[in-house]
Homo-oligomer: A and B are copies of this chain.
Amino acid sequence: MAPPRLTLPALLLGAALLAPAPALAATGAGGPDMQPILLALVLMILGARLGGSAAERFGQPAVLGELAAGIAIGNLGLLGYHGLDGLRDLAAIQVFAQIGVLFLLFSVGLESDLAKMAAVGGSALLVATLGVVAPMLLGLGVSRWFFPAHHPLSHWFVGATLCATRVGITARVLSDLKRTASVEGRIILGAAVIDDVMGLVVLAVVGGLIGAADRGQAFHFGSVVWILAKSLIFLAGALLFGRWLSPRIFALATRLRGEGLLLPFGLAFCFGLAFLAALAGLAPIVGAFAAGLILDERHYRELMSRDRERRDIQELVGPIESFLVPVFFVLMGMHVDLKVFGSPGTLGFAALLTVAAVLGKQACAIGVLELDADRLAVGLGMIPRGEVGLIFASIGATLMIAGERVVDDTVYSAVVAMVAATTLLTPPLLVWRMKGGGRSRRVRALAESAAGAADRERTPRSAGQP
């Protein structure tokens, strides 16, 4: 059989490239303009799969290829083609990506077991605390050394952008390696949830101090207490009452007429907790993760058997996940601006900030209490910074102190580069470490089975028919 010469990707790319750039903003009045959104979805879905397959060919997790595809799509401007520049800023694509990361965390939560998570709770808390304090102080030091003229609170703000781990990347690598339920995986995921909360508290405190300093007002510690209280109320409330509520919701669903009730009620539970998390001022992914932790097949077994549904929530969510999650990772790649690396000043600051970010999170290794856990793997897994760091930087860019922006263009670009670098570094480092770099696979396998890891192991597939 002759290899196909003309493929849909090539045709679509051709159509996209031939279409004049302004056409992206044309078409009908009334309702959203679907044309650029559809083009973005096609390019992102195909890019994700082609990049993912290429990464897997080199023994890397698919997510790295998805990021690389995003970087390629997002930096076509460097080759002189600007027809796709607007795609990364499409609000709808950003929302798709955010919903995608909710599904990822929901799914990670579904795979996680609350009892096992609680068993590493002490470690997770210590790991998170060390992983917030150490990078923050290092980042503060780097900023003070590089920009001695900046306001002291500006250095604290740069430090704050280094706090929050982006659990998405690590969760995806763990999922690719089928190691989500490993002791290291549980510590990382638990610590990431905790340091997300801590990061938001740090942001509130530093932001509050900056606002007060700029207005010459006294800072109210009451608002810090209030944010802290909301966070704790949400998490405790979700985990305690959610366990009580979930079986009752599905009992209600079982009494309704109609089929196919499991997925809508599961989705509403996930989005509902994500909404409540946002209402409490937390990141919605915290709520989605909590929803996944809470839901258990025991809660909806009766509904499944009445619906003659063989698939559990995780299997039903699977296709939605494989539609939306790659959109998130490709978009993250599209936001990497390669031009930033052209300026030596930004490059130097970005490099030092990245070193601070990587080394700072290695302090996490000290916090691991379990003797059989791989401390280095935990430290590596905590490296990636992401949306939260970017959101912090964008908030900093809007804050003023004594007439100066707290986060100026150079600092902002460096933070984006640091986020990109930590994101790109983590998958290969984590794969190297968790695939047995340093410890024998046998010791690892024993530790795994002792911890009762319930990962679904699929047989590695061979290279396909000739």
Contacts and interface: CB of A to CB of B under 8 A. Distances in A.
B279 A19 contact: yes
Nearest to A43: B268
Nearest to A308: B461
Given A27-B281, A53-B257, A391-B28, A264 B35 contact: no
B252 A7 contact: yes
The binding surface of chain A is classed by DSSP as helix
Contacts of A387: 31
B95 A390 contact: no
Given A38-B278, A391-B28, A268 B46 contact: yes
Contacts of A29: 391, 394-395, 398
A281 to B, nearest CB: 7
B42 A268 contact: yes
A91 B27 CA distance: 16
Interface stretch (A104-112, A128-136, A315-323, A422-430): A315-323
A12 interface: yes
Given A91-B32, A464-B254, A284 B320 contact: no
A95 B34 contact: yes
Nearest to A49: B264
A377 interface: no
Residue of A248, A251, A316, A458 with highest tally of chain B CB at under 10 A: A248
Residue of A11, A92, A94 with highest tally of chain B CB at under 10 A: A92
B49 A261 contact: yes
Contacts of A334: none
Contacts of A91: 32, 91-92
Contacts of A245: 6-8, 11
A390 B29 CA distance: 10
Contacts of A212: none
A366 to B, nearest CB: 31
A57 to B, nearest CB: 5
Contacts of A258: 49, 52-53, 56, 62
A71 interface: no
Interface in A393-432: 393-395, 398
Interface in A253-280: 253-261, 263-265, 267-269, 271-272, 274-276, 278-279
Given A95-B92, A268-B9, A35 B279 contact: yes
Interface in A1-37: 1, 4, 6-9, 11-12, 15, 19, 23, 27-32, 34-35, 37
A217 interface: no
A464 B252 contact: no
A175 interface: no
A391 B6 CA distance: 36
B35 A278 contact: yes
B394 A248 contact: no
A278 B7 contact: no
A22 to B, nearest CB: 13
Contacts of A6: 245, 248
A15 B280 CA distance: 11
A182 to B, nearest CB: 21
A53 B254 CA distance: 11
Residue of A45, A394, A461 with highest tally of chain B CB at under 10 A: A45
Residue of A38, A276, A302, A306 with highest tally of chain B CB at under 10 A: A38
Contacts of A391: 28-31
A177 to B, nearest CB: 14
Nearest to A256: B53
Contacts of A254: 464
A272 B275 CA distance: 32
A41 B253 CA distance: 18
A326 interface: yes
Contacts of A45: 264, 267-268, 271
Given A4-B248, A35-B279, A308-B461, 9 more contacts: A15-B276, A29-B394, A30-B395, A31-B94, A31-B394, A38-B284, A53-B258, A56-B257, A56-B258
16 contacts: A7-B245, A8-B249, A27-B281, A32-B91, A34-B95, A35-B284, A41-B267, A42-B268, A42-B272, A48-B264, A49-B258, A56-B257, A62-B258, A264-B326, A306-B465, A320-B320
List of 3 A-B pairs having minimum Cβ-Cβ separation, nearest first: A30-B394, A4-B248, A38-B275
